[in-house]
Structure 1
Amino acid sequence: MVTDLGVVVCRRDGGAFGVWERPEGRGPEGAGVTLIDLGELRDEPGREASPPRPPRAVGRPLRVALALAFLVATVAAAAPLPARVAVVVPARLGSEAFLHGDRLYVVEPAEGEPEGTVEVRAYALPARTPADDAPPAPLWRTRIVAAGRFWQVQAGPGTALFSSTGDQDGQTVALDAGTGRERWRQPGYPWPDPTGILLMQTGGVEGGTVRSVDPASGRALWSVPTTGEGATYAFRDGLVEWIVLAPAKGRVEVRDPRSGALVHAADLGLGELPGYGHTVVAHDLLLAVRSSAGLVTAYELDGLRRRWEARVPMVEHVDECGGLLCAPGGNRLVALDPATGARRWDGGRWFGVLSAQDGRLLAVAPGGGGERFGVLDAATGREVADLGTWQMLPWYADERFLAVRPAAAGGGLVVAEMDVVAGEARVLDVLRDASGDCRSRAGTIVCRLRTGELGVWRYPG
Structure 2
Amino acid sequence: MTVIDLGELRDGPDREALPRPPRAVGRPLLVALVLALLVATLAGAAPTPERRSVVVPARVGSEAFLDGDRFYVVEPAEGEPEGTVEVRAYALPERTPAAGRATAPLWRARVPAAGRFWQVQSVPGVVLFAVTGEQSLGETVALDPATGRERWRQPGHPWSDPAGALLVQTADSVRSVDPASGRALWSVRTPPEGAHFDVGDGLVERIVLVAADGAVQVRDRRSGDLLHAADLRPDGQPAFGQAVVIHDLLLLVRPRAGTLTAYGLDGLRPRWEVRLPTVDHVSDCGRLLCVGGPDVGFRALDPATGAVRWTGKGWLGVLSGRGGRLLALVSGPAGERFGVLDAATGRQVADLGTWQLMPWHDDDRLLAVRPPASGGGLVVGELDVAAGRARVVDVLPDASGQCRGGTDTVLCRLRSGEIGVWRFGG
Match of 1:386 in 2: 351
Give the stretch that moved more between structures: 267-276 or 119-128: 267-276
Match of 1:13 in 2: none
| Native 8 Å contact 2:40 2:373 kept in 1 | no
Please list, as runs of the form range in 1=range in 2, the aligned pairs for 1:396-411 lying within 5 A after superposition.
396-411=361-376
Match of 2:154 among 183, 186, 192: 186
Match of 2:167 in 1: 199
Please list, as runs of the form range in 1=range in 2, the aligned pairs for 1:21-420 lying within 5 A after superposition.
42-47=36-41, 50-51=44-45, 83-132=50-99, 134-167=101-134, 168-203=136-171, 208-269=172-233, 273-274=237-238, 276-330=240-294, 331-420=296-385
Q: State how far apart, in whole Å, the 2-side matches of 1:251 and 1:49 are.
A: 58
Tell me the alpha carbon deviations over residues 312-363 of structure 1, each in whole angstroms, 9 at most, x when there is no partner.
Answer: 3232221111111111112422111111111111121112111111100001
Secondary structure of the 2:130 match is: strand
TM-align CA RMSD: 2.2
Q: State how far apart, in whole Å, the 2-side matches of 1:211 and 1:94 are.
A: 32
User: Shift in Å at residue 98 of structure 1?
Assistant: 0.6
User: Shift in Å at residue 435 of structure 1?
Assistant: 1.5
Q: State how far apart, in whole Å, the 2-side matches of 1:212 and 1:227 are.
A: 17
| Native 8 Å contact 1:285 1:298 kept in 2 | yes
Tell me the alpha carbon deviations over residues 185-213 of structure 1, each in whole angstroms, 9 at most, x when there is no partner.
Answer: 1110000122222100111xxxx111111
Match of 1:69 in 2: none
Give the stretch that moved more between structures: 366-375 or 295-304: 366-375
| Native 8 Å contact 1:293 1:313 kept in 2 | no
| Native 8 Å contact 2:91 2:105 kept in 1 | yes
Q: State how far apart, in whole Å, the 2-side matches of 1:412 and 1:271 are.
A: 60
Q: State how far apart, in whole Å, the 2-side matches of 1:48 and 1:288 are.
A: 50
TM value normalised by structure 1: 0.81
Q: State how far apart, in whole Å, the 2-side matches of 1:271 and 1:318 are.
A: 24
Q: State how far apart, in whole Å, the 1-side matches of 2:245 and 2:235 are.
A: 17
Q: State how far apart, in whole Å, the 2-side matches of 1:295 and 1:328 are.
A: 13
| Native 8 Å contact 2:214 2:231 kept in 1 | yes
Q: State how far apart, in whole Å, the 2-side matches of 1:48 and 1:351 are.
A: 32
Corresponding letter in the other structure for 1:236: G
Report % sequence identity: 66
User: Shift in Å at residue 275 of structure 1?
Assistant: 7.4
Q: State how far apart, in whole Å, the 1-side matches of 2:137 and 2:292 are.
A: 30
User: Shift in Å at residue 106 of structure 1?
Assistant: 0.6
**What are the ranges of 5 or more consecutive residues in structure 2 without an aligned counterpart?**
1-31
Secondary structure of the 1:289 match is: strand
Structure possessing the higher relative contact order (Cα contacts under 8 Å, 6 or more residues apart): 1
User: Shift in Å at residue 146 of structure 1?
Assistant: 1.0
Match of 1:58 in 2: none
In structure 2, relative to structure 1, the CA distance for the partners of 1:265 and 1:236 (3 Å cut) is same
TM value normalised by structure 2: 0.87
User: Shift in Å at residue 458 of structure 1?
Assistant: 1.7
Q: State how far apart, in whole Å, the 2-side matches of 1:291 and 1:97 are.
A: 41
Q: State how far apart, in whole Å, the 2-side matches of 1:245 and 1:153 are.
A: 26
User: Shift in Å at residue 134 of structure 1?
Assistant: 2.5
Tell me the alpha carbon deviations over residues 47-82 of structure 1, each in whole angstroms, 9 at most, x when there is no partner.
Answer: 587446x7xxxxxxxxxxxxxxxxxxxxxxxxxx78
Corresponding letter in the other structure for 2:160: P
In structure 2, relative to structure 1, the CA distance for the partners of 1:418 and 1:291 (3 Å cut) is farther
Q: State how far apart, in whole Å, the 1-side matches of 2:121 and 2:114 are.
A: 17
Q: State how far apart, in whole Å, the 2-side matches of 1:322 and 1:166 are.
A: 33
| Native 8 Å contact 1:122 1:139 kept in 2 | yes
Q: State how far apart, in whole Å, the 2-side matches of 1:133 and 1:328 are.
A: 52
In structure 2, relative to structure 1, the CA distance for the partners of 1:270 and 1:460 (3 Å cut) is farther
Q: State how far apart, in whole Å, the 2-side matches of 1:343 and 1:238 are.
A: 27
Q: State how far apart, in whole Å, the 2-side matches of 1:381 and 1:107 are.
A: 43
Q: State how far apart, in whole Å, the 2-side matches of 1:227 and 1:48 are.
A: 54
Corresponding letter in the other structure for 1:288: L
Corresponding letter in the other structure for 1:228: P
Tell me the alpha carbon deviations over residues 219-239 of structure 1, each in whole angstroms, 9 at most, x when there is no partner.
Answer: 111111111111010011111
